[in-house]
């Protein structure tokens, strides 16, 4: 009987992501030649990484019902092109913009090139970053609230700020969230989160600051 696989930990996931990014950057992939659909590229990269992990570690695999790739670790994978480093994620509540998504992000940022001579594509993974869940809030929203609180803001000030930022909140939810902000000031987030039916996450600031800020790790 084969020995049981070790459990996957966040540290092991980060190390495997680093190794995977280096190896994948050298790999020529015929199935991606000529492919311009970013979703198809992302699916390829995620599935390949997950397959390698499943051969080495024991962990509950995520599903669309669970919402994230590693529910046991509270981590989701995001794959994005360096030309426009962004992706979407499920909208739960406006609270995510202030207190974070509720899970960490492992982000692979690639540059794709096609080689007509070999009829294969190469995904050069330029950045691999890990954004801890405490840093997944919106930068402008959290920085604005932190400034307000430093200036002794009250409940009305916070509610006015929510209105100015057009956070998707009704009056009752806004009041509850304002009380929470006053009681538990948010940490500075490093994502740009745009209002939409799904959150639109943009990673440029996180990429720039990875390795310099607590909670933003640069793996590659």
Tell me the three-class secondary structure of 152-200, residue by residue: CCCHHHHHHHHHHCCCCCCHHHHHHHHHHHHHCCCCCCCEEEECCCCEE
Asked whether residue 97 is domain-assigned, the answer is no
Q: Tokens 């538990």 identify what position? A: 184
pLDDT by residue for the chain (220 residues), tens only, comes to: 677 899 999 999 999 999 999 999 999 999 999 999 989 999 999 999 999 999 999 998 876 556 799 999 999 999 999 999 999 888 889 999 999 999 999 999 999 999 999 999 999 999 999 999 999 999 999 999 999 999 999 999 999 999 999 999 999 999 999 999 999 999 999 999 998 767 899 999 999 999 999 999 999 8
Looking at the domain assignment, is residue 53 inside a domain?
Answer: yes
106 and 132 part of one domain: yes
d(CA 68, CA 55): 20
Domain range for 169: 139-188
- Does residue 173 sit in the same domain as residue 212? no
- Residue 73 sits in the same domain as residue 163: no
Residues 51 and 160 grouped into a single domain:
no
Judge if 180 and 208 occupy the same domain: no
- For residues 45 and 130, membership in a common domain is answered with yes
- The reply to whether 54 and 70 lie within a common domain is yes
Number of domains in the chain: 2
**Residues 121, 17 within the same domain:** yes
User: Is residue 4 in a domain?
Assistant: no
Instruction: Give the per-residue pLDDT at 106.
Output: 97
Tell me if 1 is assigned to some domain.
no
Start-end of H helices in 32-170 = 38-54, 95-99, 139-150, 155-164
Both 115 and 146 in a single domain?
no
- pLDDT value, residue 133: 97
Q: Answer yes or no: do 115 and 51 share one domain.
A: yes
pLDDT at 197: 64
Task: Assign 104 to helix, strand or coil.
Answer: strand
What burial class does residue 64 get, using C-beta atoms within 10 Å of its C-beta: 0-12 exposed, 13-18 middle, 19+ buried?
A: exposed
- Give the pLDDT confidence of 41-86 residue by residue, as tens digits: 999 999 999 999 999 999 988 765 567 999 999 999 999 999 999 9
Beta bridge partners of 76: 105
* Beta-bridge mates of residue 125: 110
Q: In this predicted structure, what is the pLDDT of residue 66?
A: 60
Check residue 68 and report its DSSP letter: S
- 158 and 60 within one domain: no
Is 158 in the same domain as 81?
A: no
């Amino acid at each position: 009987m084969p020995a049981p696989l070790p459990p996957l930990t966040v540290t092991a996931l980060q190390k495997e992501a680093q190794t995977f990014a280096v190896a994948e950057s050298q790999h020529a992939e015929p199935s991606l030649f000529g492919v311009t659909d970013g979703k198809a590229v992302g699916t390829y990269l995620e599935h390949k990484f997950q397959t390698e992990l499943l051969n080495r570690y024991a962990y509950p695999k995520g599903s669309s019902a669970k919402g994230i790739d590693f529910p046991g670790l509270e981590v989701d994978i995001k794959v994005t092109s360096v030309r426009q480093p962004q992706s979407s994620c499920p909208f739960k509540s406006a609270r995510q913009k202030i207190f974070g998504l509720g899970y960490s992000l492992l982000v692979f940022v690639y540059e794709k090139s096609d080689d007509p001579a070999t009829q294969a594509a190469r995904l050069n993974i330029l950045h691999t970053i890990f954004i801890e869940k405490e840093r997944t809030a919106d930068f402008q929203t959290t920085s604005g609230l932190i400034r307000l609180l430093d200036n002794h803001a009250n409940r009305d000030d916070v509610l006015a700020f929510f209105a100015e930022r057009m956070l998707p909140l009704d009056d009752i939810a806004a009041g509850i969230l304002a009380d929470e902000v006053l009681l538990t000031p948010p940490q500075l987030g490093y994502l740009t989160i745009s209002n939409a039916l799904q959150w639109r996450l943009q990673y440029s600031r996180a990429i720039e600051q990875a390795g310099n800020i607590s909670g933003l790790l640069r793996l590659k």
